[in-house]
Each structure stands twice: as C-alpha cells, then as structure tokens.
Amino acid sequence: MQSHWSATPAHSNELEGRITKIEVTQEAHRGKISYLERAVQGLIYAVAALASSKSGDVVETLLSILKAKL
C-alpha cells in the first residue's frame, strides 16, 4: 500500500510550492503588522503630544510630530 506522503517528485514539488506560498504569505503579514505597529506608535505619540501641548495649536503640533518622525 502506498503512503499518502509519497516521495514522488511531483508530490515533493507540490509540497515545496505550498511551503513557498506560506512563507511569502507570512512575510507579507509581517510587513503589514510592522506597518500597523508603527502607525499605532505614531498615533500614541500624536495623542500624547496633543494632550501635553499648551499652545492649543493642533496643526502646529501635528506638523512638529511629522517633522520629528521624518
């Protein structure tokens, strides 16, 4: 009886293709997660800066945040 996990070249190629697809998907997800982490950090920084701003000039505070991030 032949095993489900046969070692034929076609089966090996199929498994390698699946693994490659999973790796590419994981890398894409890592990139998205990294982007979201940076966005959340930026929002937290912006809220903290706005909360501590005494001038009340929201536009000026946001511009200073953007300049600091660049």
Residue span of the structural domain in which 15 resides: 9-69
Total structural domains within the chain: 1
Distance CA 64, CA 49 (A): 9
Tokens 């999973």 found at: 22
The answer as to whether 4 is a domain residue is no
The answer as to whether 1 is a domain residue is no
The answer as to whether 41 is a domain residue is yes
pLDDT truncated to tens, each residue of the chain (70 aa)? Answer: 455 555 688 888 889 999 999 999 999 999 999 998 988 888 887 777 777 766 667 777 777 777 766 5
3-state SS record for the chain: CCCCCCCCHHHHHHHHHHHHHHHHHHHHHHHHHHHHHHHHHHHHHHHHHHHHCCCCCHHHHHHHHHHHHC
